[in-house]
Structure 1
Amino acid sequence: MTQEVRGVVARTENAPVETETILIPDPGPGEAVVRVQACGVCHTDLHYKLGGISDDFPFLLGHEAAGVVESVGAGVSDVAPGDFVVLNWRAVCGQCRACKRGRPWYCFDTHNARQPMTLTDGTPLSPALGIGAFSDKTLVAAGQCTKVDPGAAPSAVGLLGCGVMAGMGAAINTGNVGRGDSVAVIGCGGVGGAAIAGARLAGAATIVAVDLDRRKLDSARGMGATHTVDAHDRDPVDAVRELTGGFGADVVIEAVGRPETYRQAFYARDLAGTVVLVGVPTPGMTLELPFLDVFARGGALKSSWYGDCLPSRDFPMLTDLYRQGRLDLDAFVSETIPLDGIEGAFAKMEHGDVLRSVVLV
């Protein structure tokens, strides 16, 4: 039976979002309906609203979420009604060339629910990242549901669904940060802060946080940064080199997504070091580097998609670390808000006032 629930919809480009009645169908084969408990307000949702990702309006926003499975369709065996889950936007297919090579975190054919959620007049909604979790309930592919410890706070572990996992994975999975390494993180918002926390978990000895916002640098210390650099006052490349014995960092994580900060990351790494790009550029940006420098400095230039995570492996592990007190996910939650508070959360995000606003449904 189709259900009527509330959902936050972006109808047209850059128009204020609206809380509307939406229709959720019963789950079909391979699908699940999830009762949403909490959902973080991510920059990606703002990009959808601004038309920066696609023009498939109207969008049902929200994707960084945790909740409880309400019902499942035919053929679903990995999750069942009552399971507490974190939602992910890369349900792996198990059949593509990456999956068959044993590297499912690079799956080239991830999928979402096949049935549409709609407005009451039948207009199909485009769910953000195939999730659409600024809603009482949402319809997803069952593979987008990852079971985690039900004792965890939804407002905290829901953040693993996107930003926190992207940052932590950039350090642990993509950057392969190891014990004793030096790490620099350029851009210390939610994703950059998570990269710092990931570097600390991995055992990095020196973690340099770089940003223009002193508030973010203060929070970076709480995440595990050993040093902070205010880019207003010092050249980030010179500062990182000075703090790493003149050599540069073993791993530099760029969490801004701009050519100028990527150049800083490139030159702030040690010879044969690694640059990890996890900040998302906008269409039209271009990068220019001296080709000889790319050759002569060696090492690796990597892009990190979703922190190169495998949700079935990483979400439960990080949730367990959170439950053990070894990973402070609560520190990323700046405020909790109701479903109709998202426009205000977008404004705070643009002004740099929050790491994450989290909607409690």
Structure 2
Amino acid sequence: MRRHTVEPRPGWQATVEGQGLIYAVCEDPCNQGGPHAYWDESAYYEFSLPEVEALEEVVEELHELSLAAADHVVRTGRFADYGITDPRLAEVVAESWRRRAEQPAVYGRFDLAYDGVGPAKLFEYNADTPTSLIEAASPQWFWMEERFPGADQWNSLHERLVASWARQRHLLPPGPVHFAHSRGDTEGEDWMTTLYLQETAEQAGLATASIAMEDIGWDGLTGRFVDLEQRFIRSVFKLYPWEWLVEDEFGRQLLDGVDLGGATGSTLWIEPAWKMLLSNKALLAVLWELNPGHPNLLPAYLDGPRELAGTTGYAAKPLLGREGAGVRIVGPDGSQTRLADWAGDPDRYGAEGHCYQQLHPLPDFDGNRPVLGTWVVDGEAAGLGIRETDDSPITHQGARFLPHVIR
């Protein structure tokens, strides 16, 4: 794994925006002031084929370990460890897991620390609402074809997404699959990610419809969710976290109407409810408990930092945190850093509890700190997207996305 600098292409911004990355330049990232280039092709990372093949094996093993951890949580009823205290929600998640073969599940993203020397280490698994998908699937592929036509890339995302929709088509009820995002997305990332996934579904031959989460209505007479045309929403892909869904205005109706296997009158939600067991930071602690000493895991606990305090240091991560919000870094000497400046409201997350994970600094490539976003589609490793920072021990909303090649 190496980092190289390179001259950006003339007119690169218009090029990648035309490929769907309309947020290639953020005007005011994280309230820091001034425009910020999210897409950064002034440098790129190079991997060897054996490195990528080894990482693919790591990613697929981590996915299998995560599924085993979810099964353990359901069998032992450890939902409270995940902050799931509503018995009805716990029942929905458990039944969703037991009937997972009947529910479409598409994709997820592992975030790994890797320096090309030691083993990759898992930071988290976003298996419910992962973004940074468009840039990983399309613009970086076209960049490689233009700049390094003789190279290759760890990137089969588009083909695998289309194949995933086609393979799971028989699980979907009649009618269009609705694709929903929130209007609260100010940069356009969620909107474009949803549109891109909708495009992959259409290429698989599915009928689709677009809708904002805020426009999903409830028909009290029929007990059904409906769109703006009063059509029943029989299935919907949502780029909206489950923990937000169940707290929304129609949360109770949603739990009562979750389709866990084709029941009449309900809505099939994608990703399914059992993905709550993979996207929650409590997974990190359960993984370590079930697989102590695993070379790709970091020690992690739910009841406190234990031996990490005063030795390696630790990161206190809110169970439901997003983009670094509310994360507290505690060094071996007890010094503390909170990443509120980059992550917005520091108090939005944390009431649900924390996971205490061993502090593992990001690798340093001449002052640049990358994290590997490794993609899983249908349980198989499907691609890589790299984000990096130069001013923070954690990847945040102000991070840059850099392309990569295999040579």
TM-score class normalised by the smaller sequence: 0.3 to 0.5
TM-score under structure 1 normalisation? Answer: 0.33
